[in-house]
Amino acid sequence: MRAVTRRRVRLLLFTLALSVMVGVVIGGATGPMHGPPLLALALGALSGATIGAILAVVIGGAEIFLPHTRLGQALDRAPFVVAFGAKWMFYSGAIVLVLGSMVGRRVASLVLGLEHAHAPDPHMTTTSATLGVALALLVSFAFSLLFDLGDLVGQRTLRDIVLGRYHRPRAEERFFLFIDVAGSTPLAERVGPPAVHRFLGEVFRLAADPIEEHGGEVYQYVGDEMVITWTVAAGREGARAAACFFAVDCAVGRAASTFEREFGAVPRLRAALHAGPVIAGEVGGSRRAIVYHGDVMNTASRIEQATRDLDRQFLASSDAIEKLPRLDDMVLEDLGLQHLRGRVAPMHVYAVSVKPLPTAPTTV
């Protein structure tokens, strides 16, 4: 199983566990009011847990896996309100169907060994039933909104803001990978800005899965460039901070024929990797964001500019290379000390490439 798939499955399991707990609370609060109190509470809690589990699989599964399908990509291209409204209509229908079928009561009655406990309860008022539906809709709305907001600002960024992880500035050691889409300016002159926007959007979309699979976090998109970051501890695992670029380049390369057909050009990527200390913290008032301050960002940008001067696709600083484990699948070309634009002191850089696959021996 791919790392990105495992991560999504873990997220679904977490959503399932949380939904079951919420379902137990709602089911216990809105369950039958007659019969022995403990039995009524158990019936309501089990019913709520069952409903929560079903809705978590349906709604959570759609939120986690749907964006990576053709339908999800079509929704992604629609305005946020339209996409959210379409999903919410589907979710509402699923909630009403699940609650109306009384599958929760049926399962709970089987588990507790009760006969006819799933039949309509004359003691359960319309108000109680309506409250159960309303609470289920509200909780599902909150889950869906959190997932969609996470897609807008980044799941990790949303989590860190909600938990207040960077409410106070903190020092961190981080990798920064700058990936630039080369040739976008002349392409814009040839096909126009709207087409270039779609061109870059498709490149960034194709990069999303490899970045997620390598545990990276998209810090920002700047024109035709994306900036990906890891903590040093996360990025050094399996040399993910370096391997990520080659995975992105491979994903974009597989779509070369589509780019050629639609835009008359194939994306060419350049990249730079640097690592070092930064200060991370929340900034802003009406719009909150987590930003990183430090010379590492500027230096990484300068190294990326040097890929043009040195005619190399991927450059990494010695600071980044020293923080990575053995790069058995990569080739390092020592370029020595290089004078980077805007910097007084030279920097030791390496060109990084993938080892060529061994060729099968020819037989005569």
**Residue type, position 216, single letter:** G
pLDDT tens for each residue of 187-211: 877 888 888 888 999 999 899 889 9
Q: C-alpha dihedral over 236, 242, 247, 250, to 10 degrees?
A: -170
| Cβ neighbours for 361, distance < 8 A, ≥ 6 positions apart | none
**At residue 350, does pLDDT exceed 90?**
yes
In the chain, what are the domains? 3-152 (no CATH), 156-354 (3.30.70.1230)
Placement of tokens 């969609």 in the chain: 148
Residue 3: predicted pLDDT = 66
pLDDT tens for each residue of 259-299: 999 888 889 999 999 999 999 888 877 677 788 998 898 99
Beta-ladder partners of 279: 171, 293
Q: What is the mean pLDDT of residues 38-59?
A: 81
Residue 339: predicted pLDDT = 86
- Of 299, 295, 303, the closest CA to residue 335 belongs to 303
- Rounded to an integer, what distance in angstroms lies between the CA atom of residue 154 and that of residue 110? 42
**At residue 116, does pLDDT exceed 60?**
no
CB 158 within 8 A of CB 146: yes
